[in-house]
Structure 1
Amino acid sequence: MRWLAMLLLGIALLLGWTDGRGRLESAAIDQLASLNGRPAPDDILIVAIDEPSLAALGRWPWRRTVHAALLDRLAQAGVRGVGLDVILSEPDREHPQDDALLAEAMRAGPPVVLPVIMAMGPSGAPQAAGPVPVLAASAKALGHIHVELDADGVARSVFLKEGGPGRWWDHFALALLGVAGQSPSAADLPGQRRPPKAGSGWLRDHWMQIPYAGPPGHFRSVSYVDVLEGRVPAAMLRGQLALVGATAVGLGDAYPTPMASHDALMPGVEVSANVADSLRQGLTLRRAESWENAAVAVLMTGLLLLGLRRLSPWQGLCLVVAAMAATAGLTWLALRLAGVQLSPLPLLGALALVYPLWSWRRLEAARLQEALRREQEAVWRFIAHDMRAPQSAIVALVRRWRASGEALDGELMSRVEAHAQRSLTLADDHVQLARARHGGAQEPLDLRDVVADAVDQQWPLAEAQSVRLTCELPDDEAVVRGDRALLVRALVNLLSNALRFTPEGGTVRCALSPQGQDWEMRVSDEGPGVPPELRPRLFQPFAQAMAVANEPDRAAVQAASGAGLGLVFVRTVAERHGGRADLDSGPRTSADLGAAFFIRLPRA
């Protein structure tokens, strides 16, 4: 399971790091943002150029004396500042005196902020388009009214600073707070910094994600015509920051926002109201960095994996659902408490992958365990079956001895010992074969140590049989990846066979040498060799390298010559290590006497 856990953590890391903020991801973030509203402030008021105002005052645009009269009303009521979100970049040629009257009303009343927009100049380069000079000179400040649209057309951010070389303009909302004495200091100005690009004609800085307070219409609003005609109580206007702008459909700019769909657009003047309110309260909102999304994804995935290790499939499914709910809650808390927009879909996607992949791996592990259990049961059945013969022979010999009433003799004890030894050998060989098929750690090791260890184990047997045992090792390391215990046991099997069939005074040679991209361990003896008819089935279970059919006590001879699994074990170990084991059937010396077996393993 470890590799699957690492894979899932890697997927979580990748999904979190490569968040591209597509439409679906942005929509998910917007859903969370819609849960993060707040009450509208009681000192920001929108004076709406709405449908009733158009019906009462006539078609747009109105004469600028109308705006002058509105400013007079606001001044009498004691508003703190006015943001007049009306484009006044062209002089009124039909009523040239109106510009002067509006300028006078601006100078006499509360501080007024007028908008600046970006326009294309005669040369094709962007440039600022502000109010006509007489109005720009009378305004307390100028501010740009641009709203940044994402790829899906939703207004989620603004740049608090925009302009051209040598001149910057605050955002309209920031400029309004400035004239009212409520602007944050330059050092505390939020937003992501945007270094100017070489050759850029229009510069932007302090990219701010807007913490919207609510959907369209959330801020307090009064009709332009009601203020103009005195139907709004002065107490309702006193001390307010008044934002004058169009809300009538088709009259001004309106945008879809995270708090509204395309069917409920938010007027640009209300977007400015949201910006002003969040700046004044010090509310910040930023998109999470890639490393933050990745860290949360890896953390949640890791915790989920830890829980799944100890739970049933049904409990695991419940845990996944709970983890996904907790992730959504964590994303909302990060937005609510820290103003950080984590990307929920990569996090939820990583968690959604965990359960099916983990369940698949568990099913695979269960299937393998069941196969292993069945094979182990088969091994034990084979052991029980194969051990019946020697055990039955022991019982028969004991019963015959009891029936005869004779004293124990050496021949009887030798036969009992032979049968008992065969039983032990059978059991040990079966267990070792099962381990060779399913066990074994793969780690770097030096085959010189394996050969030396196997030769040391067989040295006493060679001495007892008066057989010379030689060992030939290279000077350089012979590194492979494998299980040392299994390889030593395989080589001991070959050596024990060679010693068994080598006559007294003969020699058994064990050599390690390079063979192309492999290392070869070779064991050769000076015994009678392997008959040609036995070679095709030499590595099959229970095939013996010597004829026993004509022996008077076949069981005793089999006990002496092995249980028939030794070479099967050797080949199984070699194949498990990516190599092979076989009998060297090439030309032999010494009158073609003896046999040579080898194990070849790939170099590490």
Structure 2
Amino acid sequence: MRVGRQRDLAARLLIGLLAVLCVGALLSQQLTWRVDTWVYDTLLSRFEQPADERIVIVAIDERSLSELGRWPWSRGVHAELVDRLQRAGARGIALNVVFAEPARDDPAGDALLALALAESGNTVLPVMAEPAEPGGMLIEVMPMPPLIEAAAGLGHVDAKIDHDGIARHTYLRAGLGSAHWPSLAVALLDTRAGTDADRALPGLRNPRRQHAAPYQWVRDHHIMVPFVPHGAFAQASYLDVLDGAVDDALLRDRWILVGVTAAGIDQGLLTPLTGGGPRLSATEYHANVLNALTTGQAIIPLSGLRQWLLSIALALLPLALYSERSPWRRPWIVSVLAAAATLLCCALLLRYGRYWFQPTPTLAVLAAGYLVWTLSRLRQSQRLAHSDALTRLANRRMFDLTLTRELKAAQRSGRQLSLLLVDVDHFKHYNDRYGHQAGDDVLRRIANVIGVHARRPRDLAARYGGDELTAILPETSAAAAAALAEAIIRDVRALGIPHLGSEIAPWITLTIGMATFDPKRESGPVDLVQRADAALYRGKHEGRDRSQRAADAATA
């Protein structure tokens, strides 16, 4: 019993170690990211996200472009818009338009915009990162100096795109060499807070943020954006706001994001909610980031350590639940429970904890573990169906199938095939004297001896019936079979199993009948069992405790 428990513990430890290694490999290599993102997108679409009513998008749409003329417009037009928003009492303004260089033919417009920004005191401008030349190093594209001085702040507009082309993530701070720029949404919030929001920012921290190369784009405060349905935010046309056609009540005490939504200029972004619908404009993307912060709904990916620990704990759950004596005796029930717990944990963390846990590595390990267990059980069942329960040797059915196969193989190859038929001398007397339990033990010990000698890959030791055991020996001559039979008889004698009811010796002895099929000398039907049985009968008649070779079929 103690040995069985030790083996069970060792097996569980080995399985647990393999599960840990598999989970670690899947997580470190991100091999399941496609399935994980599908799970995330599906769950996100099922959970309704609140939209902050204070967020308003002022859209540079097709109608505005048609009425106000060819893009880009004069900076004086944007100055008018900022003035209009400021008079309406806007809470803060994000003017998501890049003004990197002075307008060559409109210096007055640049001056008007700088003046409008300074007077508003709550307008932020974007910072972009792009290569100086195709394939070159990144540079930060910033507004021209007068606008930087006049703006209330600058924010980066970097959007992380996943391998499948969908924007799910953002970083609340980023910059070349260090994450010194807040995102556009954070910069907009800072105009109201008047403080550095870094200490209060949510998101997964970047452990390498302090050791980046000067020209490397560094990201920090990693969050996933819980997008709201398209059109959830109030939206007004740039032209209507400029003309005063929009009621001040829509703009008063609102976060205003101004940017291009026209398809010809803004290519848009794919999100988990867009599906086959229209792409999300960059301005609406930043509105969603702002909404995640103002509503406290930002989703934070689990840190590497937490992800690993939770994944491993759930992958090992079947080992903790499964026991032959527990209510969860069926491994498929344990596997289903562990998989359900993994998906439930993922959904609850996302919905209520606002954390994203990747479930697929755990699910993959659970599925692989159950598949391996199923194949193992099938193999074990097949082995049990072909084995004798008492001796653990092959059973009669397996013996018949193997003998038929090996006879055909011998006929094809022209090589000899030998058969041993083993009988325990006076076994009935042994059972009568010592009991059937002791008799079973004797058969097990003799079977072990035969198995030790018939150990080649194609050899088969089997229980023929009752106290008769047998061994099929492919590619074995009569002389080699005789030597093996004598070795078995000798080793059984050496066991010294007492048998006071024997008429031959005071210990257990064997009689073995041997028959050999030589395809080069024989043709026609072959009954190797009958020949071995005749040899066995003759051996018993001549005094037992010996091996007896059958007469060759060619001379019989």
TM (norm. structure 2) is 0.66
Q: Equivalents in 2 of 1:349, 1:122: separation in Å?
A: 43
Check if 1:273 corresponds to 2:287: yes
> Any stretches of 5+ residues in structure 1 without a counterpart?
391-419, 440-533, 546-553, 568-604
Q: Equivalents in 2 of 1:386, 1:237: separation in Å?
A: 107
CA deviations on 1:7-57 (whole Å, 9 max, x unpaired) are 543343233223233334333333333334421001111111122322333
Show the 5 A alignment for 1:158-557: 158-164=170-176, 168-181=180-193, 185-191=197-203, 192-193=205-206, 194-197=208-211, 199-252=213-266, 254-261=268-275, 263-305=277-319, 307=321, 309-310=323-324, 316-317=331-332, 320-369=335-384, 371-373=387-389, 375=391, 386-388=426-428, 390=429, 423-424=433-434, 428=438, 430-434=440-444, 537-540=485-488
Report the counterpart of residue 21 of structure 2 in structure 1. 14
CA deviations on 1:199-239 (whole Å, 9 max, x unpaired) are 42245242422332324433332222222222322111110
Given the superposition, is the C-alpha separation of residues 57 and 366 from structure 1 closer, same or farther in structure 2, using an over 3 Å criterion?
Answer: same
Shift of 1:252: 2.4
CA deviations on 1:42-92 (whole Å, 9 max, x unpaired) are 111111112232233333222222222222221221111110001111222
> Any stretches of 5+ residues in structure 2 without a counterpart?
1-6, 396-421, 450-481, 494-498, 513-556
Report the counterpart of residue 144 of structure 1 in structure 2. 156
Shift of 1:241: 0.8
Q: Equivalents in 2 of 1:53, 1:138: separation in Å?
A: 26
1:98 to 109, 112, 125: 109
1:62 to 54, 73, 76: 73
Report the counterpart of residue 544 of structure 2 in structure 1. none
More divergent stretch after superposition (536-545 vs 101-110): 536-545
Q: State the AA in 1 paired with 2:181.
A: W
What secondary structure is seen at the aligned counterpart in 2 of 1:255? coil
1:156 to 154, 159, 168: 168
Check if 1:563 corresponds to 2:497: no
Check if 1:40 corresponds to 2:51: yes
Q: Equivalents in 2 of 1:421, 1:97: separation in Å?
A: 117
Given the superposition, is the C-alpha separation of residues 437 and 562 from structure 1 closer, same or farther in structure 2, using an over 3 Å criterion?
Answer: closer
Report the counterpart of residue 573 of structure 1 in structure 2. none
Alpha-carbon contact 2:160-2:167 (below 8 Å) kept: yes
Q: Equivalents in 2 of 1:423, 1:167: separation in Å?
A: 90
Report the counterpart of residue 129 of structure 2 in structure 1. 118
Q: Equivalents in 2 of 1:536, 1:167: separation in Å?
A: 80
Q: State the AA in 2 paired with 1:342.
A: F
Q: Equivalents in 2 of 1:118, 1:32: separation in Å?
A: 32
Alpha-carbon contact 1:43-1:241 (below 8 Å) kept: yes
Q: Equivalents in 2 of 1:205, 1:15: separation in Å?
A: 29
CA deviations on 1:130-180 (whole Å, 9 max, x unpaired) are 222332222121222122223333323333333346993322111111112
What secondary structure is seen at the aligned counterpart in 2 of 1:252? coil
Q: Equivalents in 1 of 2:105, 2:293: separation in Å?
A: 40
Alpha-carbon contact 2:209-2:220 (below 8 Å) kept: no
Given the superposition, is the C-alpha separation of residues 83 and 294 from structure 1 closer, same or farther in structure 2, using an over 3 Å criterion?
Answer: closer
Report the counterpart of residue 419 of structure 2 in structure 1. none
Q: State the AA in 2 paired with 1:105.
A: A
Shift of 1:425: 8.6
Q: Equivalents in 2 of 1:437, 1:218: separation in Å?
A: 79
CA deviations on 1:493-546 (whole Å, 9 max, x unpaired) are xxxxxxxxxxxxxxxxxxxxxxxxxxxxxxxxxxxxxxxxx976444469998x
Given the superposition, is the C-alpha separation of residues 250 and 328 from structure 1 closer, same or farther in structure 2, using an over 3 Å criterion?
Answer: farther
Given the superposition, is the C-alpha separation of residues 334 and 318 from structure 1 closer, same or farther in structure 2, using an over 3 Å criterion?
Answer: same
Alpha-carbon contact 1:196-1:204 (below 8 Å) kept: no
Check if 1:31 corresponds to 2:25: no
Q: Equivalents in 2 of 1:211, 1:267: separation in Å?
A: 15
Alpha-carbon contact 1:12-1:346 (below 8 Å) kept: no
Q: State the aligned residue count.
A: 433
Q: Which has the larger radius of gyration?
A: 1
What secondary structure is seen at the aligned counterpart in 2 of 1:47? strand
What secondary structure is seen at the aligned counterpart in 2 of 1:346? helix
Aligned-pair identity (%): 30
Shift of 1:254: 2.2
Q: Equivalents in 2 of 1:190, 1:437: separation in Å?
A: 70
Q: Equivalents in 1 of 2:354, 2:309: separation in Å?
A: 17
Given the superposition, is the C-alpha separation of residues 368 and 435 from structure 1 closer, same or farther in structure 2, using an over 3 Å criterion?
Answer: farther
What secondary structure is seen at the aligned counterpart in 1 of 2:233? coil
Alpha-carbon contact 1:83-1:176 (below 8 Å) kept: yes
Kindly report the root-mean-square deviation, in angstroms, between the aligned alpha carbons of the 2 structures.
4.1
What secondary structure is seen at the aligned counterpart in 2 of 1:142? strand
Report the counterpart of residue 546 of structure 2 in structure 1. none
Q: Equivalents in 2 of 1:166, 1:147: separation in Å?
A: 17
Report the counterpart of residue 78 of structure 1 in structure 2. 89
What secondary structure is seen at the aligned counterpart in 1 of 2:41? helix
Shift of 1:278: 2.6
Alpha-carbon contact 1:9-1:298 (below 8 Å) kept: no
Given the superposition, is the C-alpha separation of residues 360 and 7 from structure 1 closer, same or farther in structure 2, using an over 3 Å criterion?
Answer: farther
What secondary structure is seen at the aligned counterpart in 1 of 2:371? helix
Q: State the AA in 2 paired with 1:266.
A: L
Given the superposition, is the C-alpha separation of residues 434 and 41 from structure 1 closer, same or farther in structure 2, using an over 3 Å criterion?
Answer: same
Q: Equivalents in 2 of 1:48, 1:139: separation in Å?
A: 20
